[in-house]
Chain A
C-alpha cells in the first residue's frame, strides 16, 4: 500500500491516509455497536423500572447480555483502537506500520462482534457479559469474542510497531507526547487483558464444544476478571489521555509537569490491572493477603495516580486560562471556560463524574470488607455506569464532535444539539449512577428481572425507597438513552449529509514535527492553580466522609469471621 499524508486544514494534524481510513472504520463500527447497545439499554432500563416492566424474563436476560457486551467490549474497544491509531501515526506524524495487517485486524474484530451478537440474539447464549461457567453459551458466542480479541491484539502490536517506525524514521524528537504515552498505557493494559481473555476463553470454547469436561467456576472467575475488569482499565487510560488531549486542543494547555503525569501513567501500567480482584472479594478460597494486595492496586498506587490526573488535567486548564488573563478570584478561569464547546463540556463532565461518582464508589466497594455490602447489587452497575459511561463514553462522544470535521471532513449538522448534548446525556447519567447506587445500598440485586419476586413462595419486600430509586433509574435512564440516540443520529446524519469540507494538502512525504525552541532561560514560571486545589480538596473531603460512613454501616452488620 502506498502511503500518502493529508494535512488537515482545520487542525494542522497530519494523517497517514491508510491510518485515517482505518480510524474512520473503527469509529463507525464503534458507533454502530453503541447503537445496538443503546437500544438494548432502553430495554433493560424499561424492564427494571418496576412500573413499566417492559420485557419478559427470557428476552430481558438476552437483551441485558447484548447490552453488556456491545457496550463494554465492542463499542469501547473499537473506539479505543481508533484512538491508538490516532495517538501513534497522527501525533507522531509518521506512517502507520503494516496497514494491510490493520485491515485484517479490523475485519477479525468486526466478524467477531457480529458472530457474538448473532449468538446472543439466537437466544441460547443469555449468559451475561461475564459468561460465568457452568452456565453455557453456544460455541460461536465464545469464538466471536476470541476473534474480536485477536483482532484487537493485532492493532495493539501495530501501535507498538508504529512507535518503532516513528523513532527509526525520526519523525519526532525526544520523548513521545503525553497523550501518546497515555495511549501506550492503554495498549499495554489491553495486551494483558486480551492475553488473559485468551487463557480463559479458549478452554471455555472447547468446553462448549464438548472437548473439555468441566471448567472450575472459581478459576474461571479469577482469570476471566483479568479480562473483564482490565478491559475497563484500558478505558481509564484512554479517556484520561483524551482529557489531556482535549485540554491541549481546546485551551492549548500544557501538562503541569511531564514528570508527574507520566509517572502517574507508569503507576497505571504497573498496578491498575490488579483491580480485577474487586470482583472476587466476596468469593471463597482466595486468601485475604491476595485480596488486600490486589484490590488495593498494591497500596492504592493506581488510585494515587488517578487522583494525580484528576488534579493535573484541570490544573493544566487553569494555568492556560490564567495565562490568557482569566485571573480574577479562584474560579474565573472555570467560569470563562467554553461551556458551549461540546468537546470541553463533555470532557469536564466526564472528569468530575468519573472522580466523584465512579472513583469514590469504586474505591469504597474495592475495600476488602466493605465489598460485602454491595457485592452483586445494583450498586455495582451504578458504579461502572459512572466510570464507563460518564468517564469513558462521554469523553469519547465529546471527542467525536472534534473528529467529525477533522477526520471525517464533514461539517457537523445540528450544532445547537451538540451544545446541549453533554449536559442532557451527562447529567442524566449522573442521576442514573446515583440512584442505582442508592438502590444497591438498600440491597437491590443486579441482573434481576423482577424486584417483586413474582412467583416466589417467600418473596422479600424491598423498602419503598428502593422502588423509588429504581423508578428514577428508569426515568433518567430513558432520558440518557434518548439523548444518546439523538447523538448517534446527529453523527450519522453529519457523516452522510454534512457539508463536505476541504481535504487539505496531500503529500507523499511526511513533514517532521518541529517544536518551538525552548524559551531561553527556561519557561516563564507558570501561574499557580489555587482553584483546582480547592476542587481537589472538596473531592478529598467527600471521599473521606463517604468512605468512613460505609465502615460505620459495615460495623452494624452481623459479626462474621
Chain B
C-alpha cells in the first residue's frame, strides 16, 4: 500500500479525473469545429449577381 501511494498518477489519468477540464474540452472543440467554422462558411457565401 505504502509504495502504491507514492506512485505518481499519470497525466492522462489526471486529465480524465478532472471533470471541469473535460467540460472545457467538450464544449470548446465542437463549438470551434462545428458551430464557429460552420457559421463562418455560411457568412462567407458570395452574393449572386
Residue numbers of A with Cβ under 8 A of B are 160, 163, 175-176, 181, 184-185, 188-189, 191-192, 195-196, 199, 216, 218-219, 222-223, 226, 230, 262-263, 266, 269-271, 273-274, 276-277, 280, 285-287, 290, 293-294, 298, 517
Contacts and interface: CB of A to CB of B under 8 A. Distances in A.
29 contacts: A163-B19, A188-B22, A188-B23, A188-B26, A192-B31, A218-B42, A222-B38, A222-B39, A223-B38, A226-B30, A226-B34, A263-B12, A266-B15, A269-B22, A270-B26, A271-B30, A273-B26, A273-B30, A274-B34, A276-B34, A277-B34, A280-B38, A285-B41, A286-B41, A290-B37, A290-B38, A293-B33, A294-B38, A298-B33
A163 B19 CA distance: 8
Chain B residues touching A, range: 20 to 34
B33 A286 contact: no
Describe A's contact surface by its main secondary structure: helix
A61 B28 CA distance: 37
Interface string B1-27: 100000000001101110110110111
| In the complex, the 4 A-B pairs of residues with the closest C-beta atoms, listed nearest first | A273-B30, A188-B26, A269-B26, A222-B38
Nearest to B1: A517
B45 interface: yes
B42 to A, nearest CB: 5
A286 B38 contact: yes
A375 to B, nearest CB: 17
A191 to B, nearest CB: 6
Given A226-B35, A273-B29, A274-B34, 18 more contacts: A184-B19, A185-B22, A188-B26, A195-B27, A218-B42, A230-B30, A266-B22, A269-B22, A270-B25, A273-B30, A276-B34, A277-B34, A277-B38, A286-B42, A287-B41, A290-B41, A294-B33, A517-B1
Contacts of B27: 188, 191-192, 195
Interface of B: 1, 12-13, 15-17, 19-20, 22-23, 25-27, 29-31, 33-35, 37-39, 41-42, 45
Given A286-B41, A290-B38, A298-B33, A181 B26 contact: no
A406 to B, nearest CB: 26
Contacts of B17: 175-176
B32 to A, nearest CB: 10
A274 B29 CA distance: 9
Contacts of B45: 285
Contacts of B1: 517
Contacts of A188: 22-23, 26-27
A192 B42 contact: no
B42 A285 contact: yes
Nearest to B20: A160
B30 A216 contact: no
B25 A269 contact: yes
B23 A160 contact: yes
B24 to A, nearest CB: 9
A298 B33 CA distance: 9
A213 to B, nearest CB: 18
Contacts of B34: 226, 273-274, 276-277, 294
B30 A192 contact: yes
Contacts of A266: 15-16, 22
Contacts of B35: 196, 199, 222-223, 226
Contacts of B15: 266
A277 B42 CA distance: 14
A191 B24 CA distance: 11
A266 B29 CA distance: 12
A191 B16 CA distance: 18
